[in-house]
Amino acid sequence: MKIISQNTAFGGMQGVFAHDSDACKGEMTFAVFVPPQAIQEPRPVLWYLSGLTCTHANVMEKGEYRRLAAELGLIIVCPDTSPRGNDVPDELTNWQMGKGAGFYLDATEKPWAENYQMYTYITEELPALVSEQFRVDMGRQGIFGHSMGGHGAMTIALKNPDRFKSCSAFAPIVEPSTADWSEPALEKYLGADKAAWRQYDACALVKDGARFPEFLIDQGKADGFLETGLRPWLFEEAVKGTDIGLTLRMHERYDHSYYFISTFMDDHLRWHGERLG
Of the candidates 147, 166, 177, 182, the residue annotated as catalytic is 147
Question: In this predicted structure, what is the pLDDT of residue 238?
Answer: 98
Question: In this predicted structure, what is the pLDDT of residue 202?
Answer: 98
Of the candidates 21, 223, 268, 272, the residue annotated as catalytic is 223
Tens of pLDDT along 237-254? 999 999 999 999 999 999
Tens of pLDDT along 124-151? 999 999 999 999 999 999 999 999 999 9
Question: In this predicted structure, what is the pLDDT of residue 59?
Answer: 98
H helices present in the chain, as ranges: 57-62, 66-72, 118-120, 126-133, 148-159, 183-190, 202-207, 232-238, 258-276
Tens of pLDDT along 149-177? 999 999 999 999 999 999 999 999 999 99
Give the distance, in angstroms, between the CA of residue 116 and the centroid of all CA atoms in the same chain. Answer: 15
Tens of pLDDT along 175-187? 999 999 999 999 9
Q: If pLDDT is split at 50, 70 and 90, which confidence band does 267 have?
A: very high
Is 182 assigned a catalytic role?
A: no
Tens of pLDDT along 25-67? 999 999 999 999 999 999 999 999 999 999 999 999 999 999 9
Question: Could you tell me the residue ranges of all domains in the chain?
Answer: 2-276
Question: In this predicted structure, what is the pLDDT of residue 7?
Answer: 98
Of the candidates 56, 146, 151, 256, the residue annotated as catalytic is 256
Q: How far is CA 146 from CA 43, 155, 181, in A?
A: 23, 13, 15
Stretch 89-103: mean pLDDT: 97
For the chain, percent of residues with pLDDT exceeding 90: 99
Is 147 assigned a catalytic role?
A: yes
Kindly report the three-state secondary structure assignment for every residue of 175-212. CCCCCCCCHHHHHHHHCCCHHHHHHHCHHHHHHCCCCC
Tens of pLDDT along 194-215? 999 999 999 999 999 999 999 9
- CATH assignment of 2-276, among 3.40.50.1820, 3.30.930.10, 3.40.605.10, 3.40.1670.10: 3.40.50.1820
Is 82 assigned a catalytic role?
A: no
- Model's pTM, two decimal places? 0.97
